[in-house]
Amino acid sequence: QKEVEQNSGPLSVPEGAIASLNCTYSDRGSQSFFWYRQYSGKSPELIMFIYSNGDKEDGRFTAQLNKASQYVSLLIRDSQPSDSATYLCAVRFSDYKLSFGAGTTVTVRA
Amino acid sequence: GAVVSQHPSWVICKSGTSVKIECRSLDFQATTMFWYRQFPKQSLMLMATSNEGSKATYEQGVEKDKFLINHASLTLSTLTVTSAHPEDSSFYICSAPSGQDNSPLHFGNGTRLTVT
């Protein structure tokens, strides 16, 4: 069974700190990985995608992928109160369907 | 960027009635669209894959006769919840990839369905 697992949270960090979110997946054949942010009552919005092993940086966000360990993470640097949301890890499995983790709720304390 | 428009954003209906939700790709063509459902405090669950010009494919446990999907054109997919019941109350979200198979999904704003 294809699964995407995220640390359950909630994760509370002070403003300006680094928030670290983790995700593991079960299908070794997966090729594409995505992080979405979802505010309460809203639909998900894409933050980053990563296809290759290593780090990918975009502004305050860094995605890290390790296919051997079947692990993908998201770092949020200089966390802001507006970053408070639920972060969804999504993995495109070998059948091209996108599956989501349960999400990690992040709260940034001012 | 790629824009997916979903309508209506919310709807309240009575048990036994049907509700149609529209999903449009505004600035790109989408031969495939995906319909997700999200219950409170849960993650998105894929319901079905909508294919332009052919039948939709449904995930295990999703009743195809209850959730009718029509992909009428390269920019429009509709989901009709037939004979709605209170347990169908949920947040329905459509999405479409803007490019190749590897491309990210872009989501509509979602439809909050409440069945009374």
Residue B76 to chain A, least CA–CA distance (Å): 19
Q: Is B49 an 8 Å CB contact of chain A?
A: yes
Q: Is B108 an 8 Å CB contact of chain A?
A: yes
For A13-25, give the secondary structure using H, E and C. EECCCCEEEEEEE
**What is the predicted pLDDT for the residue at B41?**
85
Residue of chain A with shortest Cα separation from B41:
A102
Instruction: Answer whether B93 sits within 8 Å of A51, measured CB to CB.
Output: no
- Paired tokens of A84: 């408070």
Residue of chain A with shortest Cα separation from B33:
A97
A25 pLDDT band, cuts 50/70/90, is very high
Residue in the structure block whose two tokens are 């495109």: A92
Residue B43 to chain A, least CA–CA distance (Å): 5
Examine the pLDDT at B96 and tell me if it is beyond 70: yes
**What is the predicted pLDDT for the residue at A87?**
97
Of the candidates A73, A69, A74, A56, the residue with the CA atom closest to the CA atom of residue A28: A69
Give CA–CA dist B62/B50, Å, rounded: 13
Q: What is the mean pLDDT of chain A?
A: 93
Residue A43 to chain B, least CA–CA distance (Å): 5
- Residue-wise pLDDT for A40-74, tens only, equals 999 999 999 999 999 999 999 999 999 999 999 99
Is residue A28 within 8 A of residue A2, CB to CB? The reply is: no
User: What does the pLDDT average to over B66-86?
Assistant: 95
**What is the predicted pLDDT for the residue at B100?**
67
More confident position, A51 or B99: A51
Q: What is the mean pLDDT of chain B?
A: 92
DSSP state letters, chain A: ---EEE----EEEETTS-EEEEEEES-TT--EEEEEEE-TTS--EEEEEE-SSEEEEETTEEEEEETTTTEEEEEESS--GGG-EEEEEEEE-TTS-EEE---EEEEEE-
User: What does the pLDDT average to over A16-32?
Assistant: 93
